[in-house]
Amino acid sequence: MRFEADREAGNVILTFLDSGKPFDPLAAPDPDTTLKARERRIGGLGIFMVKKTMDDVFYAYRDG
């Protein structure tokens, strides 16, 4: 896994690169935050928080 950070014109760009299997976390449905924590399925809150707090988030699978 490799991590890159770049700062330009008031923006911070974070890039995570790895050789794992293709998986687009942005395609997963958002968790139902109206349910109590014990009623929800485990997982999904991290990417949900990222999607809600960042201006732009995208996934790309390139070159195998």
Q: Give me the pLDDT at residue 38, please.
A: 92
Q: Give me the pLDDT at residue 62, please.
A: 87
Answer yes or no: is 59 within a domain: no
Tokens of 16: 């995570």
Q: Are 30 and 43 in contact (CB under 8 A)?
A: no
Torsion of CA 15, 28, 34, 45, to 10 degrees: -30
Q: Give me the pLDDT at residue 31, please.
A: 92
| Euclidean distance between CA atoms 44 and 54, whole angstroms | 16
Domain containing 24: what range?
2-53
Answer yes or no: is 41 within a domain: yes
Answer yes or no: is 64 within a domain: no
What number is the average pLDDT over the span 46-50? 93
**Terminal alpha carbon distance of the chain:** 14
Is pLDDT above 80 for 9?
no
The rounded mean pLDDT for the chain is 88
